[in-house]
């Protein structure tokens, strides 16, 4: 599973970072996503609560 993040859409509400800090974190000023740090269900739940729609799940590898 791949998660994409559109920085132009993100409104920095912080839902992702506060809900799953092991997956979504800011390191050295960069937003980092580590999908292997939680289950797919946990990640899908947080992505569904992203208020701006900046987070998207890609189920197929391109």
Taking CA 46 as the corner, what is the angle to CA 4 and CA 33, rounded to the nearest 5 degrees?
40
DSSP state of 11: -
Of 2, 14, 32, 58, the residue at the interface with ligand SF4 (CB under 6 A) is 14
- Phi/psi for 26 (5° steps) reads -105, 120
32 interacts with ligand SF4 by CB under 6 A: no
12 interacts with ligand SF4 by CB under 6 A: yes
| Closest approach of ligand SF4 to the CB of residue 60, in Å | 21
Q: Total binding residues for ligand SF4 by CB under 6 A? A: 13
């Amino acid at each position: 599973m791949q998660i994409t993040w559109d920085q132009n859409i993100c409104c920095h509400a912080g839902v992702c970072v506060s809900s799953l800090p092991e997956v979504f974190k800011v390191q050295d000023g960069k937003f980092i996503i580590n999908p292997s740090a939680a289950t797919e269900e946990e990640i899908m739940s947080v992505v569904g609560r992203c208020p701006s729609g900046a987070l998207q799940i890609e189920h197929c590898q391109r």
